[in-house]
Amino acid sequence: MTILLMSGLQIFNAHPALYWGSASNFDHPLVAICGFPDWATLAGSQWLAMGRRRHFFFAWLFVANGIVYALLAVLGGHLRSDLWPSRQDLRRIGHSIRQHLRLRFPKGAEARRYNVLQKLTYLVVLVLLCPLIVLAGLAMSPQLDAGYPWLLWFFDGRQSARTIHFVCAFSLLAFVVVHLVMVVVSGLKNNIRSMITGWYDIGEEHG
Amino acid sequence: MADLPQLGRRRFLASVAGGVGGLILGGWGRIPNDFDFTKLLESAETVSRLAQRAVTPRTALAREYTEADLSPEFRANGNTEPSDPDYQRLAENGFADWRLGVGGLVERPRSFSLAELKGLPSRTQITRHDCVEGWSCIGKWKGVRLATLLDLVGPHPDARYVMFYCADAMDLSGDKYYESIDLDGAYHPQTILAYEMNGETLPIAHGAPLRLRDERQLGYKMAKYIMRIELAADFAQIGDGKGGYLEDQGYEWWAGI
């Protein structure tokens, strides 16, 4: 995903402006910048060809991973049992937001499961952002636009799709950053141990 | 309750770690020093081409827009003013002396004047032009279908690609622009050789006297300033062997994405 983001920024730098609709109205972009600095891209900022090659190679890996994950999550019950928020979860959403704002995290048995904010965030990322960024990427392909004109209808044109692709990319980046910050502030050592070994110290022995 | 999945997870992680370690130890020594990671990345192009071809009907048309959608400013990409003296002489004369040679692997090679091309049945289409840089513009194009021309010259059974040789030199070495598409693209109903843009004679900035329109690929495939068309069985011996000037610089031959 890092390579996708960096090569994506490199491709974006070839024409660092965003538009809405089918075509680019050069006088009225939504956003126009001078381009991202070299450190944020992979090759020299002008090397569009290599950026595209990297981007498409890793896009295929991303899609393949996504399909495997989606199948496992649905068939293995991860989606239903861990990700889908229960009614009880949703009732506690206000409480959960207040606790998070104070950087107080669930303790005890509650900490073993995803809390409601986690569930909703993961669902948005998995069910909305990831499929959307792939679809928006596909909608930029003139070949697929010919075969699947609904892509253009769905995104309100190719340039809109490019803008949405860009917004999704930065939303995913924001998710990763927040996720990593939360892993650190809610107990780095304990979290890493649980990811690797499955043991998660819920703090009762020390309580 | 939590023990079983944990055991499963541990065993899984252990086998993954073992597997990765084994691959690194066993495989690394076997990767030759000159292993070309670019080649690995390039494999994605083949996957994209085969996948896109497989899921898109061969005759699916690119969306056609209306006059109201025409871009107020249609950016010109690539060269906008070829410096080649022969080309400039042709341009001064309004391309009256220009002739399009069509040859290579064909039964009846011949050449066409601009007037002869304009005398053939034409197609007009308002389509979106997608540049590899990321922008899009909508323009109206009128020209003769490449299929019409191919029917007149009769491609040889071995012919697989249509090569376009252009008048514009891209760099100081003097290498001229060239491009290629395969016969699937060449016979597509919207693949035309355009001599008019937005209702007027094709401007020099956009490839006068004749440019290719292949609406299901990116802009760089649509060769401008076409001087000669040749059919070929493959392009390994042409240029650096990648099928086009920009392809020789590392861009994909398949520009449907």
Q: Is the pLDDT of residue B21 over 70?
A: no
Q: Is the peptide bond before A29 cis (omega within 30 degrees of 0)?
A: no
Point out the least confidently predicted range of A82-86, B48-52, B239-243. Answer: A82-86
Q: Which residue of A has its CA nearest to B43?
A: A57
Domain of residue A94 covers 77-197
Q: Report residue A71 as tokens.
A: 């199948």
Residue B29, in any domain of the structure: no
CATH code for the domain in which residue B206 is found: 3.90.420.10
Residue A31, in any domain of the structure: no
Asked if residue B95 lies in contact with residue B209, where contact means CB atoms within 8 angstroms, the answer is yes
What is the per-residue pLDDT for B41?
87
Mutate to test the interface with A, among B46, B63, B127, B140 (most CBs of A within 10 A): B63
Q: How many domains does chain A have?
A: 1
Q: Which residue of B has its CA nearest to A151?
A: B63
Q: Which residue of A has its CA nearest to B251?
A: A49
Q: Which of A52, A146, A197 sits opposite B252 (nearest CB)?
A: A52
Q: Does A153 touch chain B (CB under 8 A)?
A: no
E-assigned strand segments in chain B = 99-104, 110-113, 122-130, 136-145, 161-169, 176-182, 192-197, 200-201, 211-213, 226-232
Portion 107-136 of B in contact with A at CB < 8 A = 128, 130-136
The alpha-carbon gap from A196 to the nearest alpha carbon of chain B, in Å, equals 8
Residue B26, in any domain of the structure: no
Residue B206, in any domain of the structure: yes
CB contact under 8 A, B257 and A143: yes
Q: Does B9 touch chain A (CB under 8 A)?
A: yes
Residue A68, in any domain of the structure: no
DSSP sequence for B185-245: HHTSTT-EEEEEETTEEPPGGGTTT-EEE-TTS-GGGS--SEEEEEEES--TTSTTSSSSH
Q: List beta partners, residue B71.
A: none
Residue A36, in any domain of the structure: no
Span B81-107, mean pLDDT? 95
Residue A103, in any domain of the structure: yes
Name the amino acid, one letter, at A189. Answer: K
Name the amino acid, one letter, at A65. Answer: N
- Beta-carbon contacts of B140 under 8 Å, excluding residues fewer than 6 positions away, are B67, B70, B124, B125, B126, B197, B198, B199
A195 vs B256, higher pLDDT: B256
Tokens 């076997």, residue located = B30
- Grade residue B4 by pLDDT with cuts at 50, 70 and 90: very low
Which DSSP symbol is given to A107? -
Residue B225, in any domain of the structure: yes
Name the amino acid, one letter, at B130. Answer: D
CB contact under 8 A, B257 and A141: yes
Residue A37, in any domain of the structure: no
Q: Which of A12, A149, A198 sits opposite B10 (nearest CB)?
A: A198
For B150-184, write each residue's pLDDT tens digit.
999 999 999 999 999 999 987 777 889 999 999 99
Distance in angstroms (rounded) separating the CA atoms of residues B12 and B233: 51
Mean pLDDT taken over chain B? 89
Please state the separation of Cα B174 from the chain's center in Å.
21
Of B45, B62, B253, B67, nearest to A158 (Cα)? B62
Q: Is the pLDDT of residue B224 over 50?
A: yes
Q: Report residue A43 as tokens.
A: 């090759």
Partners of residue B252 in chain A, C-beta under 8 Å: 49, 52-53
- Beta-carbon contacts of A184 under 8 Å, excluding residues fewer than 6 positions away, are none
Q: Does B59 touch chain A (CB under 8 A)?
A: no
Residue B220, in any domain of the structure: yes
Distance in angstroms (rounded) separating the CA atoms of residues B148 and B138: 25
Q: How many domains does chain B have?
A: 1
CB contact under 8 A, A141 and B55: no
Residue A40, in any domain of the structure: no
Domain of residue B191 covers 63-248
Q: Which of B42, B56, B251 sits opposite A144 (nearest CB)?
A: B56
What is the per-residue pLDDT for B27?
53
Residue B33, in any domain of the structure: no
For B107-147, write each residue's pLDDT tens digit.
999 999 999 999 999 999 999 999 999 999 999 999 999 99
Residue A171's Cβ-count burial label (10 Å; 0-12, 13-18, 19+) is middle
